[in-house]
Amino acid sequence: MYREICYTFQKTFVSDNGVLESDTQTAYLIAVGYKLLDEPTRVKVIAHLLRTIEEAGGHVQTGIHGIRLICPVLAEYGHADTAYDLLMKETFPSWDFTIRNGAKTIWERWDSWTPENGFQSANMNSLNHYALGEVREFMFARLAGIEIVPGFAGKRLCLRPLTNRKIGFCKASYRSCR
């Protein structure tokens, strides 16, 4: 059934040159991250994902459904430097932009506060929100290199940081139930 779903998805939503019907970062991330593509198509789709990032000035343009996939997908398929560039991007919209503008937590929206507009209305503007914080899994597993071995939660870890010359230091810890 999985193969049939993948075949139907690819036939229905992906052009021969790898452009998805919805030409967005989120669409490309879901197709690649959920492994809905054969390898030749995946290579083309990743190229279009990289294009959308470049066209956005090196910024993330996804929300809750793509955010948890963007850095892991890029790293898994040979573009860890792009993932780290997204993490460290200083301009809006980005995680580092929020930090440089006083954030101590992850905001609900990229534009919860901007120098031009100040704070958005209190409606849907949490300054301590989970959605954009999905990146924390990538930060622990790849940046800090602390991965829980599947099937051995709380018992075994794999320590394997994915280093990057732009990030000179990372500190993280893991507290086991043991």
Q: What pLDDT does residue 75 have?
A: 95
Q: What pLDDT does residue 63 have?
A: 84
Averages of pLDDT over runs of 10 residues in the chain (178 residues) are 95 96 97 97 98 98 92 96 94 91 86 87 79 85 90 84 85 84
DSSP string, 2-59: HHHHHHHHHHHHB-TTS-BSS-SHHHHHHHHHTT-S-HHHHHHHHHHHHHHHHHTTS-
Alpha helix segments (H runs only) across 39-164: 39-55, 64-76, 80-88, 95-100, 136-138
Prediction pTM value: 0.89
Q: What pLDDT does residue 167 have?
A: 85
Q: What pLDDT does residue 168 have?
A: 82
**Domain regions of the chain by residue span:** 1-167
Architecture of domain 1-167: Alpha/alpha barrel (1.50)
How do residues 45-96 score in pLDDT, each as one tens digit? 999 999 999 999 999 999 889 999 999 999 999 999 999 999 999 999 999 9
